[in-house]
Each structure stands twice: as structure tokens, then as C-alpha cells.
Amino acid sequence: MPNQPPRLAQPGRTGLAAETAAETAAATAGETGAPAEAAAPTTETTSETAESAPRVRVVVAEDEALIRMDLVEMLAEEGYEVVGQAATGEAAVALVERLRPDVVLLDVRMPVMDGISAAEVITSRHACAIVMLTAFSERELVERAAVAGAAAYLVKPVSAVHLIPAIEVARARQSEAAALSAEVETLELRLAARKVIERAKGILMRDFGLDEAGAFAWLRREAMDRRMSMADVAEVVTRDDNA
């Protein structure tokens, strides 16, 4: 009969003991007929609650002051919250770094750092929707803006009729990109977990004469007993093997 792997070190059980005590006390109260606490009354959502929902936060970067003021006014009238204004791409990057807005409006032509360069920096650091503004509709600029991370592109002069849909499209595209990124990350984590579990199974089979099913069963049992994931148990096994 093959040797069995040793049990992993027992982790602290303070939290478990506290949970057990609380469950026991609750069960005792139920048996003795102690009155249970009344459920908190439910409240209906009111228009005030809806109005208190956080507004979409926007940074506006435009070097022409009058155009910038018009954009800010349009956004405010449509219920957006303008949290910062900038006249250069460099200032826009600094504002986004500090304020973490949901949306950034960037003019393509700005001093110090142009809007496309600013968009590249911003998208490399933060997940926010970017709308590019320009007085030019050149194909090359549109392509560069897209590569830089812009989700929408508007030619000035800009009206609310076009600005608001562009912002919402940019936000939707950003949400889709974030969801895809999270999905990819989840798949990568699953693959990494599978790899470490396979390594741990191999170690158990080599050192303790278990077959593959037995090694898997041991990992699963330890995970259940320890209240850990199988990947975490496998990490301990592989780490001890490398020690």
C-alpha cells in the first residue's frame, strides 16, 4: 500500500471557531424560543435615490478656451460632472492621474503634448473612455487616434447632438474592452492553476506512490479541510518540493 502524504500544517482556526460559536448561539436561541430580530423594513427606490446616483466624471482637454467652455457647459447641461479642465496634453495626463475620470475629451492639436500622445499615455495607465476632438477629418489622424486608444472621434465644431452619443459609445466600448480583459485574465489564472495542480500531482505520485486519481483526491481533500483552493494547496506542495 503506498505511503500517504503528510497533512499540511493546520492554519489558524480563530475565524472558524467564531463562526461555529455564532451558529451554536443562534441555534440555541431558536430552540429556547427566543424572539428573533425583526427584519428591517424595506424601502422603495425614490426619485431622490435615482438623482443621487454618481454622475459620469469627465476631464476636458482643449487648448482653445472658448471651445473648452462650450464643451463644459454642454456636458453640465446633460448631467455630466466635469471634474477637470486642461489646455495641454501634459496637463490632461496629470489630471487623469489625479482625478481618475470615467471619460476624457482630448483635442488632437494641443501644445506641449498633443492629444494622441496624451491618449497613449492615459490608456497605458488607466481604464477610461477617450473621445478625440479635432478640426481635421484626416484619415491618418483617425487611425492614429484609434491605435492610441480613442473609442470615439468628433470633428469640430461639436454640438451636444453629436457629443453625447459619442461619449456613450466610447463608454460602452470601454466597458466591453474591460470585460474582455477581465475574461482573458480569468482564463490565464485558470491555466496557471491547472499547471500548478498538475505539477503537484506529479510530485505526490513520485514521492508517495499514488496514482493520478489518488493524488488528485489528496489535493481535493486537503483543500476542503484547509478551506483553501486546490491551486493554493498545490502551491504549498510544489514550494516544499523546491525547498
Q: Hey, where are the domains in the chain? A: 54-158, 183-242
The Cα–Cα gap between 55 and 42 comes to 26
Mean pLDDT of the chain: 79
Burial of 142 (0-12, 13-18, 19+ CB in 10 A): middle
Task: For 59, list phi and psi in degrees, rounded to 5.
Answer: -110, 130
Indicate the pLDDT class of residue 183, thresholds 50, 70 and 90. confident
Q: What is the spatial distance between Cα 222 and Cα 212, in angstroms, rounded to a whole number?
A: 16
Tell me the pTM: 0.55
Biggest CA pair distance of the chain: 85
Find, among 209, 211, 205, the residue nearest to 234 by Cα: 205
Which one of 1.10.10.10, 1.10.3720.10, 1.20.120.430, 2.60.40.10 gives the CATH number of domain 183-242? 1.10.10.10
Measure the CA–CA gap between 182 and 169, rounded to whole angstroms: 20
Question: Look-up: residue for cell 480583459?
Answer: 181
High-pLDDT (> 70) share of the chain, %: 78
Cβ neighbours of residue 180 closer than 8 Å, sequence gap 6 or more: none
Residue 109 above 60 pLDDT?
Answer: yes
**198 vs 39, which has greater pLDDT?**
198
The lowest-confidence range among 5-14, 27-36, 134-143, 191-200 is 27-36
**In this model, does residue 202 exceed pLDDT 50?**
yes
Q: Which CB contacts under 8 angstroms, 24+ apart, belong to 214-223? A: 214/2, 218/4, 218/5, 222/7, 222/8
3-class SS of residue 112: coil
- The CATH class for the domain spanning 54-158 reads alpha beta
Of 202, 196, 199, 201, which Cα lies nearest the Cα of 231? Answer: 196
CA pair distance 135, 180, nearest whole angstrom = 33
Query: Is 60 exceeded by the pLDDT of residue 146?
Result: yes
**Residue 243 has what pLDDT?**
67
C-alpha–C-alpha distance, residues 61 and 133, integer Å: 9
- Helix (H/G/I), strand (E/B), else coil: 103: strand
Beta bridge partners of 84: 59
C-alpha cell at 96: 487623469
- Cell reading at 160: 451636444
DSSP string over 6-63: PPPPPPP-HHHHHHHHHHHHHHHHHHTTPPPPPPPPP----HHHHHTSPPPEEEEE-S
- Looking at the predicted structure, is the pLDDT value of residue 85 above 90? yes
pLDDT at residue 63 in the model: 92
Closest CA to 104 of 78, 137, 126: 126
Model confidence pLDDT, tens digit, residues 2-59: 455 666 654 333 333 334 344 444 444 444 444 444 444 444 444 444 455 679 999 9
